[in-house]
Every structure is written in C-alpha cells, then in structure tokens.
Amino acid sequence: MALFHVARYAGPEAAGAEAGADGRARALLERLQCRARERQRQQEPAEAAQPAGAAGKRRRRPRRPRRREGGGAPGSKRRRADGAAASAGGPGGAGAARPWSRVRVGLTRRPPRFCRAGSGEEAPGDSGEGAEAAGPPEDQDGRPPAEASGPPAHALLLGGFERSRAPKVQPFLPAWLAEPSCVGKNVTKDLVPIEDIPEVHPDLQKKLRAHGISSYFPVQVAVIPALLESAANGFLVGRAGYRPSDLCVSAPTGSGKTLAFVIPVVQALLHRAVCQVRALVVLPTKELAQQVSKVFNIYTDATSLRVALVTGQKSLAKEQESLVQKTVDGFRCMADIVVATPGRLVDHIDQTPGFSLQHLRFLVIDEADRMIDSMHQSWLPRVVAAAFPSEGAKDPFALVQRRQPQTVTAASTCWPQMPLQKLLFSATLTQNPEKLQRLGLHQPRLFSTGLAQGGSRDADTEVDGDSGGKYTFPAGLTVSGAHGYREGARPGAQGPANPVPSPQHHYVPCSLRSKPMAVLHLLLETSFSRVLCFTNSRENSHRLFLLVQAFGGVTVAEFSSRYGPGQRKTILKQFEQGKIQLLISTDATARGIDVQGVQLVVNYDAPQYLRTYVHRVGRTARAGKTGQAFTLLLKVQERRFLRMLAEGGVPELERHDIPGELLQPLVPQYEEALSQLERAIKEERKQKAA
C-alpha cells in the first residue's frame, strides 16, 4: 500500500496519446453496439413467427433473490412487469418479451457456455464479439438446454454418497523392518542346549550351568551368535574392517532378552588389556538398572572386568569414585561396563573429569520404546557426541581412534577404528521408521517373534503370528493347559489329569464402589501367594494399600515413589521371598522388573495404552511359567478396553462376573475399613500441613 501519491504533469505528447486511446475505445464501443443491434433485428422476425402458446411454454430460470436495503421483496417490480406483459398476450406478450430491451453494453457478466451433447461444438451465440448481448441459446425444439431431454453425454452424474469405510493405507516399511529375522516365542518348546552354541566361552558355559541354566531360549539362540560374530576379530575393529550392523530385538516379556546381550558383551571384553568403558547399558528406571547390574556382576565374577552402577542412588562423588581415579599423570578408568539411567549418565558426562566414552564399543538400550519416548532429554546425542573425540584432541591410541561416520570407500576401510554398535531390546519395540530414525542406526537387523508380513503392518505395531495383533504375549499368558480361575475353585489346587485349555486374560465388570471388594474377593477365595496389583497413580496406590491393610487378612505392601530406593529394594526382596502376598504398585515395576513367582496380575485401574497392558501382565508367566491377568473395568471402559486388547493380539479374553451375593459378606468389614481409611487420610493431611 502506497503511503504517498506522486502526480506528474503530462506533456503535450502524452495528452495526444491519451486522446488517441479514448478515441479508439469509443470507436470500438460503437462498433460493438452496432453489431448487437443488427443481431437483434435478425432475431426479431423468427421470434414474431412463433405462436403465442409456444412462447408461453418458455420458462425462466430461477434466480437467487438479492437482498436489498429496502423492505420490499426482491424482484417484485420485475415480476409485476412480467405479469402485465403476460396479460397482454400475443407477440408483444410474455413470450415475445424483447431481448434487446435487456441488452447492457459495457461491463456485463459473461453467460455460461453450453455444448451440444456428444460434441465439443459451442452453441450459436456463445462466441464472437456479441456474445455478451445474446440471450440464452436454444436447441432445435426451441427449448433451452436445461429443458432438453436426457443429460448431456459429458455430464458428471453425482451419487454414491452412502457411508463406506475408507480403505486402510498400508505403510511402506524399510526392508529390515518388513522382513525381520523370525524368532520362536515358545520358551518351553524351542529350547536349545548350551552345548549347541560352541561360540560361547567355556567359562561362561560353566557359569550358566552353575545358575541352573542348561538351555537357551529362542531369542538367545538368535541374538548371541549374531553378536559374537560381529566381535569375532576383537572389539577394536569390525569384521573385515567394516562397521558391524546395529541390532534390534523385539521379544515378549520374560523371554531372556537380558542374558541375550550380557553373555556376548562379557565374552567380547574378556581379553581386554586396558580398563576403559567398553560397554554402556542405558535403562529407564533405577530398579531395572539394579537388576541388569546384578546379572553382569554374576557373569563377570572371577574375571578382571569391572561393572559400575550409575543411577543416582548414591551421591555424585561416590559414583565418580567407581568410574575414575585421579593419578599423578591424569585419570584412570575404573569400569569396563557401565549400567546407568539417562539423567545420571548425562550428569557424569558433564561433571565427572576423566570420564570418557571414546573407547565405547557396545551401546545397549533396554526398554528401547520408552527410551525413545524420553528422547526429549537429549541423552542419546550427548552420549554419541562423547563417544567421538573432539577436534584437535590427541590420543595415545590414535591408531584405532573412532571417526565420525562417512561414506564407505576403500580408503575409509583401510583405516582401522573401533566401531560403535547399538543394541536395542524391548517387548513393545516400535516399527515407526520416523521414531527409529532418531537413533541413527547403521544397517540395522531386526529379530522379532512376529512373522514377517512384508509391508502390510502398521507403522507402529508388531505382528503376532498367531493372532495378527500388535504385540506378542508370553506363551504362558495365552491359552494354557493349566486351569484358569473358576468361581468356587482354587487355581493353585491340583487339577485333573487332562486339563481343558483355558484363557489366562480376564476382565471383571464392576462399579467404582465395588472395585476394592473385587480385589479382596480374588485374594481371599484363591491360594495365590504372590499377587501384583497395578494402579494408575501414586494416590490410588496409597489409598488402596491403606484400605486393604485396614481390612485385614492379607499381607500387603506398597511400591511407589513414596519410598526411597533402599526401601523399594527391601520391599521387592520380601515379595520374592513370599513374605508379602499383595504388592500394590504404580507402573514403576511394570518395566522389566523380574520378580520370581508372580502368579496373578490385577489391573485395579485399567491401563490407558496397549503397551502399558503388555508390560503389566508381563510380570507373570515369565521364563515359560504360567500366569493369569485380571482387569477391573467400569461399564464405560469396557468397549474401548476390549477393542484395544483385540488389536493387541490377546487370543481370548474371558468375562468374569462376581455375583453380588459373594461380595455381601465382605460389606460390614469393608465399611469399617473405609472409616479407618478416612481417619488415616485426615491424619496424614494434618502431618503434612504441620
């Protein structure tokens, strides 16, 4: 938009040019008017020859009424004039209304073009200089095209507006995702003896037998040889000088994924000469990191390898002592394998002098789907950046110094360097290429218990070979020969000789008030000694704990962030020993925690996501054992939950109704427990306020 207008004084030449242009415009306008009059004179005899009756049949096209500022109806004057002309009749009546009286010269709206059916010729009067003045074209019968019989050949017929389901668009997946290496999921039938994998070191085989392991699970059979092959020439260089492929493993909970990376990592580092951080295992929770660190300590015992746990349970100074040691000529590394949580790991990268990841060989990411979701913490770019030396830095081991990834050429492979191999493990590994791209994987390989489906899978799903669902569940949680829960029968009791297969997934319809009584009924009427109950929040977990404790008859404990790491460790140990019958927990124990002997999982609060359900019920039926899962559902939750599980590949979900008469004997004691709960909550609020 111009802020100023500059006027110029035209000279004589410009004035003459403007006059000439105005003259040519007037001449052109007069010529157009003459042609329009001549055309109207030619049409008048033909219109006068038509009978008045035929002219009366001619219809006007309805026009949209225009709003006027006045109060009168739009077009009322024109209708009155047409009515007067119609009453006159004859050639001067409505049928012979003179078109030339409606001719407008100047800026007029161009009428639409009409084509004859089946041809591309324009109707007469549609082209030429006088097209603006011509009336609507007519066909041979004297009717306008709208009145012609039948639709034009080129017309678009509308219809088919009935509601139909849109076809599902199938994503195009990369080859390594669309065609994974299939792994058996039955950990009771597809076992392989230890002797059948001779690549494993004899000392590690002895360790396995000493801890009661005589056979490998299917995922271990597939992953351990692949990892040992990539480190066959030592950990300093890759096979034939090439960088090894990164591995992604998607297998059910309790299928032995932890041992699948512990054995090859320990074996690859057995003959190391200098202590440096060669393996880094990153996990989402402190409890899971403690569990993995314990497994590493078992298989590095009686070796020179050292394992450090970095989770924030100790002070930063204490953890620094386990990582580095200050010497006269610098710093000395004290750990070969570091097990850490993301936040604490970044703290040590920033604040611990002498802590280096430039000799890192294996980067293991357990519970990879959750770790990808926590990428907003930017821990992975920090780790990868720390694994490469800074520009200009001098290293005594420059011969095998790691370089930034580059195009593979003959010259690049001639320079030996230590590769960085990433290993991803999860029971619910995403297949969304956009999410996996953030990890920067190098020529990845996928090991999955689902059957290869080409590109016909959803972008974020794993396909179960039996049910076509998203994720694979443990074999002991699908359909088992063991008896499921039946009203009036104890699931722990000895069944008949030929048990009937029964589903292990159940849902219990109940009201909000009767949910605690349903949990108590399942506990009191069965002989389960270890029951794990999940809630969606810390407040729900605490209140349910106080209520069951006030009710009595059940040894109960709470596992949530209300307690410190030491207390949570003690609670888990007591639960494994059978001293606690019911452990009420948030989702803190749903990820990877291996608690031995859990027979029943109860979802007090229905999980909102399918992945959450998979990890919750995965705390039972581990390592080939059987287990059961119950979910308490409100009426408004049933439809969504059942649809979610059907998509998730649950083979069969059994409805389990608890009659009201079975809960009636619990009501008096339950109401007394509710009053005690109310008093306990008031007391806690007073203490918090004080």
- Do 436 and 544 lie in one domain? The reply is no
Predicted local distance difference test score (pLDDT) of residue 115: 43
Tell whether the model's pLDDT for residue 534 goes beyond 50: yes
Would you state the pLDDT for residue 94? 40
Check pLDDT > 80 for residue 451. Answer: no
User: In this structure, are residues 641 and 668 in contact, taking their beta carbons and an 8 Å threshold?
Assistant: no
Give the pairing type, strands 324-327 and 445-448.
unpaired
The mean pLDDT of 424-434, rounded to a whole number, is 89
- Same domain? For 505 and 540 the reply is yes
186 pLDDT band (50/70/90 cuts)? confident
pLDDT surpasses 90 at 39: no
Residue 28, in any domain of the structure: no
Number of residues that make up the chain = 690
Integer Cα distance of 462 and 428 in angstroms? 7
Which residues, in sequence order, are bridge partners of residue 362?
279, 421
3-state secondary structure 348-363: HHHHCCCCCCCCCCEE
What three-state secondary structure class fits 601? Answer: strand
Is residue 660 in a domain?
A: yes
- 550 and 417 inside one domain: no
Among the ranges given (136-150, 222-236, 424-438), the one the predictor scored with the smallest mean pLDDT: 136-150
* Residue 280 Rama label (left phi>0; alpha psi -120 to 50; beta): beta
User: In this structure, is residue 461 part of a structural domain?
Assistant: no
Shared-domain flag, residues 430 and 288: yes
Res 444 pLDDT > 70: yes
Cα–Cα distance measured from residue 305 to residue 286, given in angstroms and rounded to the nearest whole number: 22
Q: Higher pLDDT residue, 501 or 545? A: 545
Query: Are 329 and 428 in a shared domain?
Result: yes
Q: Is 632 helix (H, G, I), strand (E, B) or coil?
A: strand
Give pTM, 2 decimals.
Answer: 0.69
How do residues 80-120 score in pLDDT, each as one tens digit?
A: 444 444 444 444 444 444 444 443 444 444 444 444 444 44
Cβ contact 518:632 at 8 Å: yes
Q: What is the pLDDT of residues 550-608, one digit of tens each?
A: 999 899 999 988 888 888 889 988 998 989 999 999 887 777 677 888 889 999 999 99
For the segment 466-493, the average pLDDT, to the nearest whole number, is 51
Residues 6+ apart with CB under 8 A from 38: none
Q: Which residue has the tokens 């351990």?
A: 224
Look at residues 479, 475, 482 and name the one whose alpha carbon lies nearest to residue 449. Answer: 475
Are both 334 and 426 inside the same structural domain?
yes
Question: Is there a single domain that holds both residue 443 and residue 481?
Answer: no
Q: Is the pLDDT of residue 20 over 50?
A: yes
Is residue 439 located within the same domain as residue 480?
A: no
Is 68 contained in some domain?
A: no
One domain for residues 384 and 272? yes
* Residue 136 scores a pLDDT above 80: no
Packed helices 286-300 and 565-576: angle between N→C axes, nearest 10 degrees:
70
- Statement to judge: residues 482 and 441 lie in one domain: no
Mean pLDDT across 183-194: 84
Any idea what DSSP says for residue 122? B
Question: Across residues 37-51, what is the average pLDDT?
Answer: 74
- State the average pLDDT for the chain: 77
Encode pLDDT of 348-400 as tens digits: 999 999 999 999 999 999 999 888 887 756 899 999 999 987 665 555 555 55
Give the angle subtended at the CA of 476 by the CAs of 472 and 481, to the nearest 5°: 130
Domains contained in the chain, number: 2
Residue 78: pLDDT over 60:
no
CATH number at residue 333: 3.40.50.300
Which pLDDT score, from 0 to 100, does residue 646 have?
Answer: 85
Instruction: Tell whether 517 and 441 lie within a shared domain.
Output: no
Res 527 pLDDT > 70: yes
Q: Which residue has the higher pLDDT, 129 or 533?
A: 533
- Beta strands, E only, 247-350: 247-250, 279-282, 307-310, 324-327, 330-333, 337-340
Whether 125 is covered by a domain: the verdict is no
Is the same domain home to 300 and 427? yes
Q: Per-residue pLDDT for 142 more than 70?
A: no
Please, are residues 308 and 300 in contact by the beta-carbon 8 Å criterion? no
Can you give the pLDDT at residue 24? 87
Distance from CA of residue 51 to its chain's centroid?
75
Which residue range forms the structural domain that includes residue 625? 475-491+499-689
Q: Which residue has the tokens 């050292």?
A: 306
Query: Is residue 142 assigned to a domain?
Result: no
* Within-domain flag for 361: yes
What is the per-residue pLDDT across 199-247, written as a single tens digit (0 to 9) for each? 999 999 999 999 999 999 999 999 999 999 988 776 666 666 678 899 9
For 391-444, the three-class secondary structure string (H helix, E strand, C coil) is: CCCCCCCHHHCCCCCCCCCHHHHHCCCCCCEEEEEECCCCCCHHHHHCCCCCCC
Q: Does 359 map to a domain? A: yes
Q: CA separation (Å) from 364 to 51, 193, 360, 405?
A: 96, 26, 11, 19
Residue 673's pLDDT is what? 94
Determine the average pLDDT of the residues in 275-280.
Answer: 95
